[in-house]
């Protein structure tokens, strides 16, 4: 027989080798040839591992997201107050260390709105549900510890959508200059209403 390569791993390898390229230029300004050259493979090889250009962004996002989630779990376990946890949870959208991820995420939203694809929908649905469950857990904990009122359940559920919306506004308008402040102020305002007065 001939060589058998780990298709899954090589897909990741190619994607990883192009992160810088994609964060610097944006998918529309890149050609498959450029990507292939950067990855050090022939153009045809790219199509052996990816459906198209968009699919590469998708893979990069998958890899970065996984890393991000592990980091997040660690960071979350280091604080105890519910408010702090939520602020850390949503720092994804402004965190200094996630600039690259956000760039890819932005690109990804653009793609999934413009050229929908079954795999992407599944991925996003899973992400969405995971994050919701995560936030839900944080709130439930806060309620049990008597930090916040039970009504929080309903309200905080929308926080993820709110953050995403603000993120998009911050990216596509000049109306938001400090997203971090905007988001944290909102959480503070929410807690003024939801915190159990002692």
Partner DNA sequence: CCCTATTGACCGACCATCAGTCAATGAAAA
Partner DNA sequence: TTTTCATTGACTGATGGTCGGTCAATAGGG
Which residues contact its own copies (rule: CB under 8 A)?
Answer: 26-28, 106-107, 109-116, 120-121, 124-125, 128-129, 151, 154-155, 157-158, 160-166, 168-169, 171-175, 185-186, 189-190, 192-194
DSSP state of 1: -
| Cβ pair 196, 148 in contact under 8 A | yes
**Measured distance CA(198)–CA(196) in Å, rounded:** 6
Q: Which of DNA, its own copies, none does residue 190 bind (CB under 5 to 8 Å by kind)?
A: its own copies
Residues 3-42 that bind DNA (CB under 7 A): 3-5, 7, 10, 30-33, 41-42
Give min distance, CB of 40 to DNA, in A: 7
As beta bridge partners, residue 148 has 195
In a 10 Å sphere around its CB, with 0-12 CB exposed, 13-18 middle and 19+ buried, how is residue 63 labelled?
Answer: middle
Give min distance, CB of 39 to DNA, in A: 8
**Measured distance CA(131)–CA(95) in Å, rounded:** 17
**One residue of 25, 47, 128, 157 binding DNA per CB under 7 A:** 47
């Amino acid at each position: 027989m001939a060589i058998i390569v780990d298709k899954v791993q090589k897909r990741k390898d190619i994607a990883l080798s192009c992160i810088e390229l994609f964060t610097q230029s944006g998918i529309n300004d890149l050609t498959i040839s450029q990507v292939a050259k950067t990855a050090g493979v022939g153009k045809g090889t790219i199509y052996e591992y990816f459906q198209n250009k968009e699919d590469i962004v998708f893979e990069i996002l998958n890899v970065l997201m996984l890393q991000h989630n592990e980091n997040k779990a660690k960071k979350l376990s280091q604080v105890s107050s519910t408010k702090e946890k939520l602020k850390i949870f949503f720092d994804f959208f402004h965190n200094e260390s996630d600039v690259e991820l956000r760039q890819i995420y932005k690109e990804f939203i653009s793609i999934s709105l413009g050229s929908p694809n079954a795999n992407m929908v599944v991925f996003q649905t899973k992400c969405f549900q995971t994050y919701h469950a995560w936030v839900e857990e944080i709130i439930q904990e806060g309620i049990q510890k008597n930090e916040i009122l039970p009504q929080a359940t309903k309200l905080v559920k929308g926080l993820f959508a709110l953050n995403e919306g603000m993120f998009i506004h911050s990216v596509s308008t000049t109306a938001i200059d400090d997203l971090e402040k905007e988001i944290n102020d909102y959480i503070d305002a929410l807690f003024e209403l939801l915190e159990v007065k002692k």
